[in-house]
Amino acid sequence: MKNLTIKKVETIGAIFGVFFGAGLHFLYDKTSIAAFAWFSAINESPWEHLKLLFFPILIYMGFEIFFIKNKKTFYFAKLAQTVVGMLAILMIFYFYTGAFGVENVVIDILIFAVVMMASYGLSYKIIKDNYAPKLPGYFYLGGLVIILIFFVVATYSPPMSPVFMDPETFTFGLK
């Protein structure tokens, strides 16, 4: 474990994120366990699919935090990774579905995998360069907590916006 570099830790995180995130897609649907609704997709809305990126990053943070000396940089990297990754998924999804008028599960999976890997690349670059704006580290950690809380709240009471609507059932949130 001592010879794990930041690059290796982030690479492992990307691989973990892709596979764990893919598993989260089916977890609630296959089990119907209410607690799983907080962190796995409960419907086919674009918003619910962002959980597949966010929660693997959050869970893997518990492992990788032990390898990063500068916690402020680490928290900033994880917040940047999360926000940029979530925005990238939404922008790419809406671009390709809007431009081509189709939605394809294979393309959706590829978008998720590429964005997960790229987001870990961003995190690696920030950590390697030891970059963080001048705000205190708890500010960035607080940003992650706010996203976490919003995921839980939006599971049960989402805004009535197209990004939160299941395109198959035209419903919002947990049925």
Interval 12-24 mean pLDDT: 97
**Distance separating alpha carbons of residues 118 and 98, to the nearest angstrom:** 23
pLDDT digits (tens, 9 = 90+) for 139-158: 999 999 999 999 999 999 99
**What are the domain boundaries of the chain?**
6-164
Q: How far is CA 117 from the centre of its chain?
A: 11
- The reply to whether the predicted model has a pTM over 0.75 is yes
Give percent of the chain above pLDDT 70. 99
User: Percent helix, strand and coil across the chain, each rounded to 5?
Assistant: 75, 0, 25
**Distance separating alpha carbons of residues 77 and 141, to the nearest angstrom:** 10
- CA distances to 59, 73, 137, 148 from 69, in Å: 19, 9, 13, 24
- CA distances to 55, 65, 68 from 61, in Å: 10, 6, 10
